[in-house]
Amino acid sequence: MILEIGAGKGDLTRELLQSGAWVVAIERDRKLADELLRAGHGADRLIVYEGDALKLDWPTLIRHPRFSGLQWKTAGNIPYYITSPLIDKALAAPLPQRVVFLVQAEVADRLAAQPGSKQFGALSVGVQAVATVERLFTVAPGSFRPPPKVASALVRLTPLAEPRVSPETVPAFRRFVTACFTQRRKQLRNSVAHAARVSVTRAAQGLADLGLDPSQRPEQLGVGDFVRLLRWTDRL
């Protein structure tokens, strides 16, 4: 079963239905949602919900009696201006088997970025703490009508069997990591002091105790290092 976010005119919806999948489609535009309901191929396997994907309760939608016992995935060509909150929601419990989103190419680079690169940041850490990220391929602007001003890329996010942070800890973890990266160009001792709301001296000592160099920059740390830092702040 596929939960499709932002079905639009139904191009992806039709392909999914023709593949034999059950599809739960979310579409904000009432007219487009009505047109989806009148789709031809495989429409008996299609349920359409009109509404804002950020506001709807996805677990409730997939608990429809038709889908009892079915595993599910999330897919969609999502609006670029709400990419991060949609990814956060897609990776919230209960987790799907997989998330496949078409996003702005620059965002895909950030999602898949590794420590030490200039693209590596709070988004990279927050997502990689709970899922593996695969940047599959780039889609040129000319593939769309009208063409956007930027290139797009398809990304596949697969939830980790053992996430680095528990579901209840994810919001606090993301807030902490985001706070660290707001001080991105500062040394780690300053970034952590800001995020943990402690003195620079206390932050430097905590980093040293964890075997981390206080003079490093946040983008030089791995995901696991941020997890250890959050646990350190819990003991303060």
Work out the pLDDT band at 137, boundaries 50, 70, 90. Answer: very high
**Residue 177 pLDDT exceeds 60:** yes
As its CATH architecture, domain 1-77 has: 3-Layer(aba) Sandwich (3.40)
Pick the CATH number of 87-163 from 3.40.50.150, 3.30.2350.10, 3.30.565.10, 3.90.79.10: 3.40.50.150
Q: In what order do the strands lie in the sheet with 99-104?
A: 46-50, 23-27, 2-5, 73-77, 99-104, 152-159, 131-139
Q: What pLDDT does residue 40 have?
A: 56
Work out the pLDDT band at 148, boundaries 50, 70, 90. Answer: confident
Work out the pLDDT band at 109, boundaries 50, 70, 90. Answer: very high
The pTM assigned to this predicted structure is 0.91
Taking residues 54-59, what's their average pLDDT?
94
Collapsed DSSP state (helix, strand, coil) of residue 61: helix
For the domain spanning 170-234, the CATH number is 1.10.8.100
Taking residues 108-122, what's their average pLDDT?
96
pLDDT tens column, 157-168 = 999 999 999 999
Collapsed DSSP state (helix, strand, coil) of residue 157: strand
Could you tell me which residue, 70 or 107, shows the higher pLDDT? 107
Could you tell me which residue, 45 or 206, shows the higher pLDDT? 206
Which sequence spans correspond to the domains of the chain? 1-77, 87-163, 170-234
Q: What pLDDT does residue 42 have?
A: 61
1-77 with 87-163: one CATH topology?
A: yes
Taking the C-alpha atoms of residue 113 and residue 187, their distance in angstroms, rounded to an integer, is 20
Q: What pLDDT does residue 39 have?
A: 63
